[in-house]
Structure 1
Amino acid sequence: MTEWVMLTDFALAGVLLLAGKVLRVYCPPMQRIYMPAAVLAGIFGLALGPSGTDILPWSQGFASNAGMLTAALFAALGLATDIPSPKSIAQRAGSLWAFNQVATVSQWLFAAMLGLFLATFIWPGLNPGFGLVLSAGFMGGHGTSVVVGNIFGDLGWSDALTLGLTFATAGIFVSITVGMLILQLALKLGLIRNFTCFDKMDDYQRKGLIAPGKQQAVMKETLSALSVDSFAIHVALIAVVTAFAYHSANYLSSFSDQLQIPNFVTAFIGGMLVRSITRYTGGSRYLCDNVFNHAGATTTDFLIVFGISAIQITILANYLLPMLVLLVGGILFTLFLVLWVAPRMLGGDWFEKGIFSWGWLTGTVAMGIALLRIIDPKMNGTVLDDYAIAYVPGSITDVFIISLMPVAMVYGYYAEAVAVASVYLLVVLAVWRFLLCRSAGKLAVE
C-alpha cells in the first residue's frame, strides 16, 4: 500500500465521518437515539463499499487500517495511564474493580460456553470459539473485535472479524436502546430522581455540540514553538509506541507458531513504559494527558468507520440464526450482571455505576458516559474517577483474556479455560468480600 492509497482511505473515512456528523446535527431521529456520528459514517461506508453498491474507491486492503488504528489506540491509552497504588484501589474503587472483574470475566466465559454449546449440539459447523465474537464486540467494541478477529484469522477462522465487528455495531444500538428502558424503569422505581430526557435537553446537547461559551481548549502548551510544537511531540510518542508494538509483537510471535502476541498488548505495555520513563525523568511535566485521551478517541472514531465498512454481508447470512441466539443470550446475561450482581457488590450508589457499566459492557465507555450524563448532566459524581482508578489493574486481565481465550477455544482447552476463569472469579469475590469491603468500611468510619 503506497502512502497515497492510505491517504485516500483516510480521506474517504473523513468524508464519511463529516457526513455522519452533519446528519446527526440535522436529523432529529438520529439525535433521539443518541446515534454516534462514527457509527453513521460506518453504515454509509458499508452501504457504499464492497458489500453494498461498491461506489467508494476503497483500497483493496482498506480493512487492515483498523488493525493499525487499534495499536495506536492502545498506545495512546498506555501513554495516558498511571498505575494507581493498591491503597487507592482498595479504598476508592475497590468494589467497582471487583465488579468490573466479575462482569468482564463472566461475560467472556458465558459467551464462550454458550457458543461452544451451540457449536456442539445445535450447529456443529460453527467454530468452537464462536461465542467469543459476542464478548469481543460487546465489552471490547470495534477495537477488541479487530484484535480477536485477527487472532482467529491467524488460527484459520477468517469470518470472526466480520462477526465481531457486527456484534460491536449491534452493541452500540443495544447499549442506548435498552439503557434508556433501564433508566425509565429506574425512575418509576425511585432509584433515580433526575432524568434528563431528550425533550429537556437544549439544542446543543441534542445535536452533540458544545455551546461556544462552554468550549474548552483541547491541550495546554508545554513546549516552546521556537524549538518544536507541543502537539508534534505527542504525535511522535504515539507513532513510536505504535511502531514498537508492531515490531515487538512480530518478534515475540516468531518464537511459536501456536501463540501469536497481539500488537495491542505490546502497544499498551509500551505506552505505560514510556510514561513511566517520562515520570522518572521529569519529562511528564511537558506532556498533556488530554492530548493522548483525544488521540485515543480520534483513532476510535476512525476505527469504527473502517470496521463497520469492512463488514461482509455475505458472511453474516451464513451465521444469522446463531448470531441472534447469541445476541439475545448476551443481552439477558448482561442485564443479570447490571440489575442483580451490581446492587449486591456496589453498595448504596450502585445504580449510577451500574448504568455506566451497562454502557461499556454492551457498547463502549463512551456509551456508558452518555447514559450517565442523562442522570448526572453536570457529572458531579465520582463514577468516572473511580472507573479510571479501577481500569488499570482490570486491563491486565483483559489483555490475558483477549490474547489467550481464542487460542484455548480453537485448540480444545475448554475445561482449562473454564477452570482458570472460575478460580479467578472466586479469588476476586473473596478479595472483595474479605478485604475491599472492610477497607471501604474503615474509610467510611474515618
Structure 2
Amino acid sequence: MNSVLNDLNIELYFTSIPYLWLALSVFVIFAILLFISRQFESALRFERLGIPIALLIGIITLLIGPFGIIPLLPQAVTDIWDDFPTPLLTLVFATLMLGRPIPARQGLFEPVAKQALLGFLLGFGQYLVGGVVVLLVLIPYMGVDPLMGCLIEVGFEGGHGAAAVMGESFRHIGFSKGLDLGLAMATIGLLSSTIFGSALIIIGRFLGWIIPSEHSHDPKNDSEKILSIDQQFRLILINFAFIGLAVLIGLTLLNLFRLIGEYLGGTIQSVSSTFPVFPLALFGSLLIRFLLEKTNNTELVSSILQREIGILSTDLLIITAMAGLNLPLISNNWMSLTLLSIAGLTWNLFAMFLFARISFGERWFERSIIEFGNATGVAASGILLLRLADPEDKTNTLPIFSIKQLFLQPLLSGGLITVIAPIAIMSIGLAQWTELCGLMTVLFILFGFLLQNRDF
C-alpha cells in the first residue's frame, strides 16, 4: 500500500511541474506587459483618469481563466497563483519605506492617530454590520452558521491570505464552508475595491475632491543622476538586496514570534501561527531606511526603482487574484455573499464619506481612499487607489498609512482580533459579539471627534 501511495505522490509531483512552469511563464509575461504598458502615454492616461491598468489586464485574465468565457488558463495554473498574494504583498510592504524619507516625528502623531482610528472604525464596523445582517436576515431566513458574521472582516480586510489561514480555524470549530466562503468574500472585496474605488476617483476628479497635480507624473521625469550601465546594474543589485534584507528581517521576527507563541500556547499561539509576514517586512523596510538616513547612505536607494517594484507587485497581485475568481462558488452562495458584500461596502463608504471627511478635513479623499481600498480589498488595493488619486504622494499619505499599519496589522486583517472573533462568537454568541463591536465602533467615532479639534 505504501508503495502505491509513494508512486502516486511521485506521479502527482511530476505532473504538476509543467503547470508550475506554465504559471510562472504566464506570470512573467504579465509582468513584462505591465512594465511595457506603463511606458505608453495612452495607458498612463487611463490611470490618471482613475482606471488602473491592472484592472484592465485582470478582466482579460478573468475572461481566459478556468471559469471565464474562453477558459484558456487551466485551473491548475490559477491554483498555483492562489499562493502568490502573500509573497507579492510582502514585496509591496518591503518597498514602502525604503525609497522615501521617514516623516519627521514632530506633527506625526495626529495624522497617524486619525488614520489608525479610521482603520479601527472600519474593522470593528465590519463585524458590527456583518453580525446584524447574519442575525436579522441570514439566520432567520437561510439558517446559516453564526460564524458568517466574521466573513466581511476576514475577506475584505484580511484578503485571500487571511481567508486561507482562517479557513483552517473555521474547520476546527465546525464551520467547514468557512474557507471557500472566505476566499469568495476576499475575491469579491478585491474586485469591489478596484472597481468601486476607481469609480470614486473618477467621480472625485469631476467633483473636485482631488486637487489635480501640477503636471502629469511620469517616471522618466524623476530627477536621479545619469549612471553608467555598470553603475545602474550595481544600483539594481543593491536595491534588490535591501528588499531581500527587509523580507529577511520580517521572516526572522515572524519565526521569533511563532517560537514565543509555542511556549505561551492558547490564543497567542493561534495568533502567531496565522500572523502574516508582510507587516513585519514593513518594519524591516522602515529599519533599513532609518539606518541609511542615520549613516547618510540614502543615495544607495533608488526611489524610482523601489516605487516601480511596489507598483508592479501590487498590479500582479490584483491580476492573479482576478484570474482565479471562482464564479460557481459565488453563484451557489450568491444571496448570502451579496447581502454581506453590500453591508460591508455600505459601511466602508459611510466611514469614508462621513467620518473621514469630517476628521481629516483638507485632502480627506486621498487619506480615506487608501483606507477604503485596504478595508475592502487588502492593503495592495488601497495603495493602488492612492496611486491613482495622488500619483506623486503630495499629501504624504503613504508614509502615514505605512506607519499606521505597523500598529493596526497585528490586530486586524488576520491579526489578534481576526483570530479571536470566531472563538468569541462560539463562546459568548454572535449577538453579544456584535454588541461589543458596536460599542467599540461608537468609541472610535467619539475618539475621532475628540481628535478633530485638538492640537498636537
Tell me what 1:346 maps to. 360
- Whole-Å separation in 2 of the counterparts to 1:256 and 1:319: 33
Residues 54-65 of structure 1 correspond to what in structure 2 (within 5 A)? 54-56=71-73, 58-59=76-77, 61-65=79-83
The residue type paired with residue 265 of structure 1 is: P
Tell me what 1:265 maps to. 276
Once the two structures are TM-superposed, the CA of residue 314 in structure 1 deviates from its matched residue by: 1.4
Tell me what 1:35 maps to. 51
* Paired residues of 2:283 and 2:406 also in contact (CA < 8 A): no
Once superposed, what is the RMSD of the aligned Cα atoms?
Answer: 4.8
Tell me what 1:150 maps to. 165
Among 379, 394, 409, the residue aligned to 2:408 = 394
* Paired residues of 2:95 and 2:306 also in contact (CA < 8 A): yes
- Whole-Å separation in 1 of the counterparts to 2:210 and 2:279: 39
* Paired residues of 1:162 and 1:310 also in contact (CA < 8 A): no
Q: Secondary structure at the match of 2:409?
A: helix
The residue type paired with residue 382 of structure 2 is: V
Once the two structures are TM-superposed, the CA of residue 69 in structure 1 deviates from its matched residue by: 1.6
Tell me what 2:87 maps to. 69
More divergent stretch after superposition (80-89 vs 145-154): 80-89
Once the two structures are TM-superposed, the CA of residue 329 in structure 1 deviates from its matched residue by: 2.6
Tell me what 1:369 maps to. 386
Among 122, 133, 139, the residue aligned to 1:103 = 122
Q: Secondary structure at the match of 2:334?
A: helix
Tell me what 2:242 maps to. 234
Quickly say closer, same or farther: Cα 1:294–1:424, change in 2 above 3 A.
farther
**1:39-78 Cα distance to aligned partner (Å, 9 max, x none):** 3333333333332444335448414422542563476268
Once the two structures are TM-superposed, the CA of residue 356 in structure 1 deviates from its matched residue by: 5.3
Q: TM-score, normalised by structure 1?
A: 0.71
Tell me what 2:6 maps to. none
More divergent stretch after superposition (333-342 vs 165-174): 333-342
Once the two structures are TM-superposed, the CA of residue 315 in structure 1 deviates from its matched residue by: 0.6
The residue type paired with residue 66 of structure 1 is: F
Tell me what 1:320 maps to. 334
- Whole-Å separation in 2 of the counterparts to 1:44 and 1:62: 18
Tell me what 1:124 maps to. 143
More divergent stretch after superposition (17-26 vs 360-369): 17-26
Quickly say closer, same or farther: Cα 1:267–1:225, change in 2 above 3 A.
same
The residue type paired with residue 389 of structure 2 is: L
Q: Secondary structure at the match of 1:158?
A: helix
Once the two structures are TM-superposed, the CA of residue 122 in structure 1 deviates from its matched residue by: 2.6
More divergent stretch after superposition (173-182 vs 269-278): 269-278
- Whole-Å separation in 1 of the counterparts to 2:96 and 2:399: 17
Tell me what 1:298 maps to. 312
The residue type paired with residue 179 of structure 2 is: S
Quickly say closer, same or farther: Cα 1:315–1:411, change in 2 above 3 A.
farther
- Whole-Å separation in 2 of the counterparts to 1:317 and 1:270: 37
Once the two structures are TM-superposed, the CA of residue 393 in structure 1 deviates from its matched residue by: 3.2
Once the two structures are TM-superposed, the CA of residue 131 in structure 1 deviates from its matched residue by: 5.0
- Residues paired across the two proteins, number: 417
Quickly say closer, same or farther: Cα 1:262–1:396, change in 2 above 3 A.
same
The residue type paired with residue 165 of structure 1 is: T
Quickly say closer, same or farther: Cα 1:389–1:236, change in 2 above 3 A.
closer
- Whole-Å separation in 2 of the counterparts to 1:283 and 1:361: 37
The residue type paired with residue 40 of structure 1 is: L
Tell me what 1:311 maps to. 325
Quickly say closer, same or farther: Cα 1:107–1:396, change in 2 above 3 A.
same
Tell me what 2:197 maps to. 175
Tell me what 1:51 maps to. 67
Quickly say closer, same or farther: Cα 1:439–1:384, change in 2 above 3 A.
same
Quickly say closer, same or farther: Cα 1:176–1:132, change in 2 above 3 A.
farther
Unaligned stretches of 5+ in structure 1?
Answer: none
Once the two structures are TM-superposed, the CA of residue 318 in structure 1 deviates from its matched residue by: 0.7
Q: Secondary structure at the match of 2:276?
A: helix
Q: TM-score, normalised by structure 2?
A: 0.70
* Paired residues of 1:162 and 1:312 also in contact (CA < 8 A): yes
- Whole-Å separation in 2 of the counterparts to 1:167 and 1:75: 20
* Paired residues of 2:89 and 2:317 also in contact (CA < 8 A): no
Tell me what 2:3 maps to. none
Once the two structures are TM-superposed, the CA of residue 239 in structure 1 deviates from its matched residue by: 4.9
Determine whether 1:164 maps to 2:172. Answer: no
Quickly say closer, same or farther: Cα 1:166–1:359, change in 2 above 3 A.
closer
Q: Secondary structure at the match of 2:270?
A: coil
- Whole-Å separation in 2 of the counterparts to 1:30 and 1:91: 34
Among 25, 31, 37, the residue aligned to 1:11 = 25
Once the two structures are TM-superposed, the CA of residue 132 in structure 1 deviates from its matched residue by: 4.2
The residue type paired with residue 24 of structure 2 is: F
Once the two structures are TM-superposed, the CA of residue 12 in structure 1 deviates from its matched residue by: 0.9
- Whole-Å separation in 2 of the counterparts to 1:123 and 1:284: 62
- Whole-Å separation in 2 of the counterparts to 1:179 and 1:438: 28
Once the two structures are TM-superposed, the CA of residue 176 in structure 1 deviates from its matched residue by: 1.7
Quickly say closer, same or farther: Cα 1:218–1:383, change in 2 above 3 A.
farther
The residue type paired with residue 170 of structure 1 is: S
Quickly say closer, same or farther: Cα 1:78–1:146, change in 2 above 3 A.
same
Identity in percent: 14
Q: Secondary structure at the match of 2:51?
A: coil
**1:384-434 Cα distance to aligned partner (Å, 9 max, x none):** 454455444333443334443355457775356435534544554454455
More divergent stretch after superposition (321-330 vs 288-297): 288-297
